[in-house]
Amino acid sequence: MQRVPLASSHVDALREAGQLVHYPAGAVIVRPGDPVDHFVYVEDGEIEVMNPFTGERHVPSTLGPTQFMSEISFLYGGSWTMPMRAVRDTRAIAVPRTAMLRLMSEIPEMSDIIITVLAARRRRQLDAGDGMLVLIGEEDRRIRRIAEFASRSRLPYSSYDIGSPEAARIAESCAIEAGKPAVIFGRDEVVSDPTPEKVARLFGVNRDLAEDEPFDVLIVGGGPAGVAAGVYAGAEGLSALVVDEIAIGGQAGTSSRIENYMGFPTGISGADLVWRGEVQAMKFGTRFVVPRRVVKLERLEGRQFCATFDNGQRVRVGAVVVATGVQYRRLPIDRLADFEGAGVYYAATENEARFCRGADTIVIGGGNSAGQAAMFLCRSSSHVRVMVRGASLAASMSSYLSSRLAADRAITVEYGTEVVALHGTDKLEAVTIRDSRDQSERKLATCAVFVMVGAAPNTGWLSGLVALDDKGFVLTGDAVGGGSPYATSQPGIFAVGDVRAGSVKRVASSVGEGSVVISKVWEHINGK
């Protein structure tokens, strides 16, 4: 465990806000799924992480005097992911979450230490594949969908193949049938008919909201633009709620390496970049809920709006920031849906790359996302073919990326080509490629096709409240007589990032728009 001590003045503040608690040796203090509703500072004694399947110590290091017991989920009121037990009689200070968040806002030096440690703990869990969410059988599409959601949401989990000794031991410990796919949370919770929504509830990231709960601003979409808006909304004292129907990160979250974002000269993954912003926004009090989809938006009296979610719940908000971005188009190819998740993918992360090691893969698209995917996949695939319908990458891909594709012997860029057929039984085995110049066709063996082409805006939920262009992108600024570049035709609704008509499809510009729009949101809410 990280040993970053708090200052004596910080400890004095904890004593004043909390109460003294005692844990006898052997006592289980928290279990996976328990709410993280207290911050625990150890004055004397020792606390360990325990393995719920064996009852033994789970990690070598323990928590001792001057250290604290908490997780990053403390910031958003989520759940514990690791069971904790007192090794010996332990004396500690327990501070209720609400009081602790107030202290952190008042004492930034203490807040910096705590957030740094909590973020490092979560990174250790992610890097080690060390979590109480256990997946058995990612060969199954349902299990693979859970793995994708957990990975994109930065939720720690471990994964074992069906038939492996580890899977057999876990099945025996949980008294479930061996040799079958399973999702288990902390040994005692075997998830039947697993879905991302159920897993999100276990981690506390898909909590029910109070009926008609009021917020100053609802930010719909958790990509770079939405998360940046969440950071600045919280920093300006606005009560903000960020929702995304898949996971925080958006399309950028599926990018393995972004090299042209200022401040990261060696590059950073899209998931890590957006996650840092999410933690930053949570520090300011912004709330995140996933997976949660807005199905209806209504205008109310008094300059307010009512948003209805896919679970029937509603919230009242003073303003709405549309940051839903775009999604890759589903190609008009027979049997495409049959192979989605079993050879056809819309993201190139470690989750997908694992299933095509040493094999040929295909990337469809000519933009930066396609280029980044090809560079990432060539580390594990024997060869990567990039299929581009046009005759050049100059207009759609950054120069540094296209130059790297051309220089890498493991990558071939094929211009004027398209995939016209998919072949296989339970999973993708081959594709048919057509050359648009002479209409010739050839069949290629491949384990995976990564579709990264086209940009369809996610605006159907806006219920006709704002003006759209002929492609469904939100019109803003001068095009609709808006008072700012991000104002839509409906006062109180703003649009930022890729979903906005005329926007520059780059992460940096999305972050900038999400940051700047909050000043106009503040003015609208305060009647300026």
Paired tokens of 3: 């040993």
Helix, strand, coil proportions of the chain in percent (round to 5)? 30, 30, 40
Which H or E element spans position 432?
Answer: strand 428-435
Could you give the CA distance from residue 133 to residue 130 in angstroms, rounded to a whole number? 9
- The set of residues, in sequence order, having a beta carbon less than 8 Å from that of 465 and lying 6+ positions away, is 297, 299, 490, 493
Looking at residue 472, its pLDDT comes to 92
- The set of residues, in sequence order, having a beta carbon less than 8 Å from that of 430 and lying 6+ positions away, is 422, 423, 424, 443, 444, 445, 446
Looking at residue 63, its pLDDT comes to 96
Q: What is the three-class DSSP state of 269?
A: coil
Distances (CA, A) of 245 to 86, 124, 140, 156, 206: 39, 27, 22, 20, 11
Instruction: Give helix then strand counts, H and E, for the chain.
Output: 13, 26
Could you give the CA distance from residue 81 to residue 52 in angstroms, rounded to a whole number? 11
Domains of the chain plus CATH, in order, are: 8-128 (2.60.120.10), 133-203 (3.40.30), 213-327+460-525 (3.50.50.60), 336-451 (3.50.50.60)
What is the chain's Cα-based Rg? 24
pLDDT digit of tens for each residue in the chain (528 aa)?
456 689 999 999 999 999 999 999 999 999 999 999 999 999 999 999 999 888 899 989 999 999 999 999 999 999 999 999 999 999 999 999 999 999 999 999 999 999 999 999 999 999 888 889 999 998 888 999 999 999 999 999 999 999 999 999 999 999 999 999 999 998 889 999 999 999 999 999 998 887 778 999 999 999 999 999 999 999 999 999 999 999 999 888 888 788 888 999 988 988 899 999 999 999 999 999 999 999 999 999 888 999 999 999 999 999 999 999 988 788 899 999 999 988 999 888 888 888 888 889 999 999 888 999 999 999 989 999 999 998 889 888 889 999 999 999 999 999 999 999 999 998 899 999 999 889 999 999 999 999 998 778 989 899 789 999 999 999 999 999 988 999 999 999 999 999 999 988 889 999 999 999 999 999 999 987
For the chain, the residue count is: 528
Pairing verdict, β 411-415 and 493-495: unpaired
Paired tokens of 236: 């300006």
8 Å CB contact between 151 and 135: no
Pairing verdict, β 417-424 and 411-415: unpaired
Distances (CA, A) of 405 to 23, 335, 371, 434, 507: 58, 30, 7, 22, 21
- The set of residues, in sequence order, having a beta carbon less than 8 Å from that of 106 and lying 6+ positions away, is none
Paired tokens of 338: 């049959």
Looking at residue 254, its pLDDT comes to 81
Looking at residue 219, its pLDDT comes to 98
Looking at residue 4, its pLDDT comes to 67
Looking at residue 94, its pLDDT comes to 98
8 Å CB contact between 491 and 524: yes
Compute φ and ψ for 30, nearest 5 degrees: -140, 155
- Closest CA relative to residue 209, chosen from 178, 243, 233, 186: 243
Residue 209 Rama label (left phi>0; alpha psi -120 to 50; beta)? beta
Please give the single-letter amino acid code of residue 217: V
Count CA atoms closer than 13 A to 408's CA, side-chain side. 24
Write a three-state SS string for 367-406: CHHHHHHHHHHCCCCCEEEEEECCCCCCCCCCHHHHHHHH
Looking at residue 169, what DSSP letter applies? H
Looking at residue 3, its pLDDT comes to 61
Compute φ and ψ for 21, nearest 5 degrees: -130, 155
- The set of residues, in sequence order, having a beta carbon less than 8 Å from that of 56 and lying 6+ positions away, is 50
- Closest CA relative to residue 93, chosen from 30, 158, 22, 169: 22
Please calculate the CA angle 304-307-308 and round it to the nearest 5 degrees.
Answer: 150
Could you give the CA distance from residue 75 to residue 502 in angstroms, rounded to a whole number? 36
